[in-house]
Structure 1
């Protein structure tokens, strides 16, 4: 399930992010990749312990928790600290699948990467190339969104970033552990949630709203893990 969440951040907010990121100190992005992924990765990342990385990551995480579509689609249990990367000078990231398990820095705990997300911080006309291609059972989804928009997709997906041939591509990316690990179950719950909201809007007094809500929460209770 690939879901676009538009305008997670407004244009003025993105400009704030960009102004800070453009003057930051970046490091080789391969240091955070697994063995196979490092062979096909060429970009730069902001170190996780950089004060700016922590500040911007906190803003991203806080906004996610205020975004109903993200909550409904991801059913987030935990979100790993968002990271920031930039691609230029033919920077790219070849076909890879994200690690299934990530350590949570400073805690001794781990997070299962049920869901991958990319927040675009450059507009499409600012760079050539750099498309995010996500493969799933329905084919390949090619994604290049306006700055401030978020794409959410299964962490199990094979995906890649095409070489950037002009300009600079800034993004934030992160992983979410969901209360519901199975993507097909998350899809059903999201569709049911949407149907409940539609019925509640069109027929707010109809008894089926309560029945459907009961079904939703009982499925969530049955399928979730805490």
Structure 2
């Protein structure tokens, strides 16, 4: 399931994030890439131990956990600290698949990948995130503060930047629901419940639907 979520960051949070980026020191992005990905990764990245990175991590994690659409879609068990990347003219990231396991302070399985855009589309030329999914090839270039989620098993790449710069936060999620089809069904069911609650809050169908959702979650969840 590929899902775009608008306004994950507020205007104030986005302003704070950009101010932190403006003060930050960048390193070669290949330092966190796997052996194969390092051959096609060409970008800049904030070092993990800087004050700016820690502050940015707090902004992103707080925003994600407060976003009901993200929680419903990803059903997160673990959300890793994001990588904060910058692409300038001539930089790109060739076709690759994300590592199945991320090893660090917490070792976890990658089920869902996320890219949170921090630059406006008009701030740079090129730089589309290209994702190959079951519905074909998708080119993603979202407004600043917006997020795209997609299965970590997807082949994807970032097109070369030909002007300006592209700032993003990239992260991975281990979901409580490992299977992508099951996760998609739960998301659709939850969306239907929320729509029904908004239109007819006293509807007698709500309780059995909620019970079905939680019983499926109980059946499928890995916690």
What TM-score does the superposition give when structure 2 sets the normalisation length? 0.97
**Equivalent residue number for residue 224 of structure 1:** 221
Q: Any unmatched runs of 5+ in structure 2?
A: none
Is the CA contact (8 Å cut-off) linking 2:20 and 2:56 kept in structure 1? Answer: no
What is the rounded CA distance, in whole Å, between the counterparts of 2:203 and 2:10 in structure 1? 37
1:172-208 deviations in whole A, cap 9, x for unaligned? 0100110001111111001000111122222322221
Of 150, 160, 165, the match for 2:147: 150
1:57-80 deviations in whole A, cap 9, x for unaligned? 011101111100000000001100
What is the rounded CA distance, in whole Å, between the counterparts of 2:16 and 2:69 in structure 1? 24
Report the alpha carbon displacement of residue 122 of structure 1 after superposing the two structures with TM.
0.5
Residues matched between the structures, number: 223
**Equivalent residue number for residue 117 of structure 1:** 114
What is the rounded CA distance, in whole Å, between the counterparts of 1:206 and 1:10 in structure 2? 33
Is the CA contact (8 Å cut-off) linking 2:13 and 2:59 kept in structure 1? Answer: no
1:71-82 correspondence to structure 2 within 5 Å: 71-82=71-82
SS at match of 1:192: helix
Is the CA contact (8 Å cut-off) linking 1:87 and 1:170 kept in structure 2? Answer: yes
Is the CA contact (8 Å cut-off) linking 2:97 and 2:152 kept in structure 1? Answer: yes
**Equivalent residue number for residue 36 of structure 1:** 36
Report the alpha carbon displacement of residue 98 of structure 1 after superposing the two structures with TM.
0.5
Report the alpha carbon displacement of residue 82 of structure 1 after superposing the two structures with TM.
1.1
Q: Any unmatched runs of 5+ in structure 1?
A: none
Is the CA contact (8 Å cut-off) linking 1:80 and 1:104 kept in structure 2? Answer: no
1:86-138 deviations in whole A, cap 9, x for unaligned? 00121100000001101232xxx411110000010100101000000111111
